[in-house]
């Protein structure tokens, strides 16, 4: 049985602390490349540099259910759609701003100014509290 999202693979923006502060995020800003791994994934692109490019529709969006095992399936998750060229560019790729959005109007929030330089990292996402997640 997976706890939380299990282990994940993220693209972490180099300026993640600035983004976290600007959007008052409890968790580390990231784009999920893969998740629901029951143990630490072995990945070939670990520590690889990449670029996060946000969609032209820069306003915050309510996110649909994304994963088979999603501990936040009953919450109102919100984020910005984006792409990571040559890594992940499907239409559901996103950066989650909130796992329980209650801050008001989606149109009041715009995606970070990009593109963003990032690095591919593994992450422990086993906690049900996103503020306790960390990359390694």
Write the pLDDT tens digit of every residue in 75-86: 889 999 999 999
Is the predicted pLDDT of residue 25 greater than 90, yes or no? yes
pLDDT of residue 31: 97
Residues 95-100: what's their mean pLDDT?
A: 93
**Residue 52 above 90 pLDDT?**
yes
- 1 pLDDT above the threshold of 80: no
The pLDDT score that the predictor gives to residue 73 is 87
Average pLDDT score, the chain: 92
**pLDDT level of residue 102 (50, 70, 90 thresholds):** confident
Q: What DSSP string runs through the chain?
A: ---TTEEEEEEEETTHHHHHHHTT-SS---EEEEEEESSPPP-TTTT-EEEEEE-S--B-EEPPP--SS-TTTTS--EEEEEEBTTTB-STT-EEEEESS--SS-GGG-BPPSS-EEEEEEEEEE-SSSGGG-EE-
For the chain, what are the domain ranges?
6-135
Question: In this predicted structure, what is the pLDDT of residue 57?
Answer: 81
The answer on pLDDT for 7 being more than 90 is yes
Model confidence at 48, pLDDT cuts 50, 70, 90, reads: very high
């Amino acid at each position: 049985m997976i706890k939380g999202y299990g282990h994940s693979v993220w693209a972490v923006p180099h300026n993640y602390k600035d983004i976290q502060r600007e959007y008052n995020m409890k968790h580390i800003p990231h784009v999920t490349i893969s998740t629901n791994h029951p143990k630490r994934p072995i990945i070939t692109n670990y520590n690889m540099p990449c670029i996060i490019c946000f969609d032209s529709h820069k306003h915050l969006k309510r996110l649909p259910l994304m994963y088979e095992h999603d501990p936040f399936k009953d919450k109102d998750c919100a984020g910005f759609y984006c792409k990571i060229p040559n890594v992940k560019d499907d239409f559901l790729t996103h950066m989650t701003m909130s796992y329980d959005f209650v801050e008001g109007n989606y149109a009041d929030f715009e995606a970070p100014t990009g593109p963003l330089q990032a690095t591919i990292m593994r992450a422990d996402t086993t906690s049900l509290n996103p503020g306790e997640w960390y990359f390694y």
